[in-house]
Chain A
Amino acid sequence: MAEQPTRTGLIQRHASAIGWGLGAIVVLGCIALPSRHFADTLREPELITGYSLFGLCLLLAALNGRKRLSVLPLIKTSFWKTMHWVAGLVAAAAYWLHVETWWPTGLYEQALAALFYLVTLTGIVGFTWQQILPRRLTQSGVEVIFEQIPNEIVTIREQAEDTVLACTKELGSDTLARFYVETFQWFFRRPRFILSHARGGQRAAFWIAQQLATVRRYLSEKEIAYLEQLQELAEAKARLDLHYAAQGLLKVWLLVHVPLAAAMLVLAAWHMLLVNVYSL
């Protein structure tokens, strides 16, 4: 017999979040307190904060490694992912402890700072998209695999063209066909209104409705039946476009985040080398 799960207390429900929060505070404390001690004893606190920051960056990069190691029963990737963004926030705090200024002097250090900011920013943006976009995808009412979208668009396009041709052939009027060539042929060619879909806008639906309203006054009753078929296809295409835009964003942001992170690690290693050569 299926039953609803019983309600648990506030702390139990948020136990995971509380745990991560405490863990982050502990880690940050383990960085901040020894570095404060170093500062108090006239040693270099940047040693502690710097190496900790680099260690954190390596831990962040290790998510990539973990994803490739699903063959082994290591800790669940979802745990690693949460650790990744929590560690990212700790790293941002450690960065501030280390650098203590918004913008350093020296070109290569500025480049490193810029890379760190960009990586953090793209990470936050990507994280936000991962919270927002799946809901939008689900609410579109259809589900399609990203790599299948070209196939589906071709199918819709062929169906649309068949519809228009059938209308012309059976009713002898080319109004719909000419209209199609002027408007919907462009629309069915490839994903359209991508930016609007990415922002969650309604431009596609609006455009479709407008075009249909425009041509409706020139069509007979029977032609309107074909127009309605075209409408259904256009709306289906719009849903596909939404998937293209949203799933595309969900994939493409990593093409910015990961290379930048790799570059940041390279430059951070260079920085570590320089500091050890010149001042330690």
Chain B
Amino acid sequence: MNATVTMERPQRWDAPFDDTVSDADVEMLLKRPEFAVIEQNKFPKSIPLEGVLRNDCRLVKLAPGDIVIREGDYGSSAFLVLKGKLRVIVKGEIPSELLGRTSTQRHGWFHQLSRLWRTPSLPEVRDTAVYEQRRSSGAEVVHDSLVSTPEGQALFDGQIEEGSGVMPNLGADFQTVDLGGGAIFGEIAALGRVPRTATVYAHSHATLLEIRWQGLSVLRKYDAGWRRIIDEGYRQNQLKVQIKESPLLSHLSESVIQELADRTLFESYGSFEWNVAYKSRDGAGGDQLEPVIAREGDYTDGLLIISGGFARVSKRVGNGERTLSYLRDGDHFGLDELYGAWKRRGRAPLDTTLTALGYVNLLRIPANALEELVFPTLEPPATHFADLLDRPLSGDSLLEWAVEKRYINGTQTMLIDLEKCVRCDDCVRACASTHNGNPRFIRHGESEGKAMVAHACMHCVDPVCMIGCPTGAIHRSPGSGAVVINDVACIGCGTCAASCPYDNIQLVEIRDRAGRQVLDPVSQTPIKKATKCDLCFDQPGGPACERACPHDALKRIDFQHEQLFAIS
């Protein structure tokens, strides 16, 4: 127990994004206009621009037809086009088998079975030899090519000419936009922690600078120019995509959509890093934490479409606000009132209040634009928020609680039915057996009635834990979308654990294979690693906890699909 061993404490750039960025490359980049205008003295000494370029970027060379990013994938990098031309597919869908989505390699059955005898008896044992090698972090992204199969080639109008270095156009079903030198793309997914909004492929031979989001956020933070580019681009691309994908508006023609987009306003409420304020107030409500977007009784001047984050729809009941529902990406607010007002040629006040939970990005489509372009061809809305008032008050207590605690963020919230749970800890044992004897959640948490949300990573729609990770150790697994921590890359800084609003990440002190505690030689403090539920992403069969509960008390709930009533 008292035996210890030392190991150099890992640092931020111990594992650079790519080993191949050379000094010459950094010089070349610094000469480019995008970087030349940056005032390098604005950057802190610990994270110089040069360091960002060397350690948080890599150069990517593409052949014609190579896919850079796929729509729907999670990604953690943005791209700057250095040379060549790329195309963004804005309309049309490429079949997923041609896109070649990555999938996570899952361990085989024998490997799993061998855990029974390979599991160490001490907690948090690591193979420290691996750490010494300092391998790079994150999953490796392989660039597939669209034209590697005959089916892929058939998507294009005509054959690729040998030696021309340029792809033919895609078929008539598709619409594309070109990206040339200096263009930046992919920042929405990188910074917004949302899936890629479009597929991008190389139209000609191209060279890109891939900037992982740790570097991008540094650039955005310390340079105004980059901040403007990123924020504006974010707004522009999000806006149009959002309108196109809204079921209300997708039936409209391209020109109408364009006109709508031109008249639509983009608004943000609340703080992007809402978790900080949330944690400090210990879960209590308040206006600062939940800014009001639209108030019941007021007249509204536009349809609100949520484009990021969560918003609460509530109505005054007695002395409090009763939560009717919560809205997420793609949902709209105010349609009933606006449509009714247009029909009756009058004005109608809002039935309900809309508040931002943490932060919300939304689009406001002005009422006159709606009346001109949308309402004439719109089917009258069938459901109304007010209908939800018919539910008894007691039936909503779970919803209220879940919204207040922000559990609605979760796609894999661990919900335990306390009236079925016999406290046998089989779930914890199962989690431990799949993680080398170390459980990755705590069978304890807030409860409301018979529902308890345990301290297990919820794999949020908006994983705020990823904000601030210096190495990218905490990332989304490209194949499964689960938020996982790469143990080798983690430097134990504790940012993610501090960020998580639900305290679902635990820092643990590690031991080596001989059972000795691993200490930092300088400070003699134990080396820690961040750990959390990884949804058993690399194991066959998915989360072991749910499988292991003998009483069906434990469920992983996806609040995006409103499985709240799974236990009520």
| With known contacts A138-B418, A145-B444, A67–B426 Cβ distance under 8 A | yes
A250 near B450 with CB under 8 A, answer: no
Q: Known contacts A1-B325, A3-B562, A145-B444; is A250 also within 8 Å of B434 by CB?
A: no
Segment from A70-78, A117-125, A184-192 that makes contact with B:
A70-78
A2 contacts the other chain (CB 8 A): yes
B422 lies within 8 A of chain A by Cβ: yes
Decide yes or no whether B112 CB sits under 8 A from chain A. Answer: yes
For B391, the chain A residues whose CB sits under 8 A away are: 4
Q: Verify B115–A71 contact, CB threshold 8 A.
A: yes
**Is there an interface contact between A137 and B418, defined as CB atoms closer than 8 Å?**
yes
Tell whether A1 pairs with B388 under 8 Å between CB atoms, given A71-B115, A133-B422, A143-B444.
yes
Residue in B closest to A3 when the chains form the complex, CB atoms = B562
User: Which residues of the other chain, A, contact B562 by a CB distance below 8 angstroms?
Assistant: 1-3
Q: Is the CB of A72 within 8 A of B325?
A: no
Q: Cβ of A134: which chain B residues have Cβ within 8 Å of it?
A: 418-423
Interface residue stretch chosen among B178-186, B188-196, B542-550: B542-550
One of B109, B326, B547 near A76 (C-beta < 8 A): B547
A180 within 8 A of B: no
Residues of B within 8 A of A4 (CB): 391, 395, 565
A78 touches B541 (CB 8 A): no
Bound complex: CA of A2 vs CA of B443, how far in Å? Answer: 27
Neighbouring B residues of A78 by C-beta, 8 Å: 549-552
| Residues of A within 8 A of B (CB-CB), count | 30
Contacts of B549 in A (CB 8 A): 77-78
Residue in B115, B433, B548 whose beta carbon sits within 8 Å of that of A77 in the complex: B548
B178 to chain A, nearest CB (A): 40
- Asked if B430 lies at the interface with its beta carbon under 8 angstroms from chain A, I say yes
Q: How far is the CA of A3 from the CA of B563 in the complex (A)?
A: 9
Bound CA span A74–B391, Å: 40
Tell me whether B447 and A143 are in contact (CB under 8 A).
Answer: yes
In the complex, what distance in Å separates the CA atom of A135 from the CA atom of B418?
7
Give chain A nearest CB distance to B130 CB in angstroms: 22
Whether a CB of chain A sits under 8 angstroms from the CB of B360 is no
Asked if B550 and A80 sit within 8 Å, CB to CB, the answer is yes
Complex formed: what's the CA distance from A146 to B424 in Å?
10
Instruction: Say whether B429 faces chain A, with CB atoms less than 8 Å apart.
Output: yes
What B residues does A137 contact at CB under 8 A? 418, 423
Q: B113: shortest Cβ distance to chain A, in Å?
A: 7
In the complex, chain A residues whose CB is within 8 Å of the CB of B385: 1
Query: Would you give the 0/1 interface string for A240-275, flagging 1 where the beta carbon is closer than 8 Å to chain B?
Result: 000000010011000000000000000000000000
Determine the distance from Cα of A124 to Cα of B452 in the docked complex, in whole angstroms. 28
Query: Is B325 touching A71 in the complex (CB atoms < 8 A)?
Result: no
**Contacts of A73 on B, CB cut-off 8 Å?**
540-542, 547
Report the minimum CB–CB distance from A217 to chain B (whole Å).
39
Instruction: Kindly state whether residue B564 has any CB partner on chain A within 8 Å.
Output: yes
**Quick one: which of B383, B443, B539, B544 contacts A145, CB cutoff 8 A?**
B443
| Residues in B neighbouring A80, C-beta threshold 8 A | 550
Query: Cβ of A2: which chain B residues have Cβ within 8 Å of it?
Result: 325-326, 388, 399, 562, 564-565
Is A72 a contact of B540 with CB atoms below 8 Å? yes
Cβ of B541 and Cβ of A72 under 8 Å apart?
yes
Are B423 and A250 closer than 8 Å at their CB atoms?
yes
Q: How many angstroms between the C-alpha atoms of A74 and B395 in the bound complex?
A: 36
For the complex of A and B, list the 3 residue pairs with the smallest distance between their C-beta atoms, beginning with the closest: A73-B541, A70-B430, A81-B550
> Would you mind naming 12 contact pairs between A and B with Cβ atoms under 8 Å apart?
A1-B385, A4-B565, A68-B433, A70-B544, A71-B113, A71-B544, A72-B541, A76-B546, A81-B550, A134-B421, A143-B447, A146-B423
- Using A70-B426, A72-B540, A134-B420 as known contacts, list a sample of 17 further A-B pairs with CB atoms less than 8 Å apart, ordered by residue number in A: A1-B325, A1-B331, A4-B565, A67-B426, A67-B429, A70-B429, A71-B434, A71-B539, A71-B544, A72-B113, A72-B541, A130-B551, A135-B419, A138-B449, A138-B450, A143-B452, A145-B444
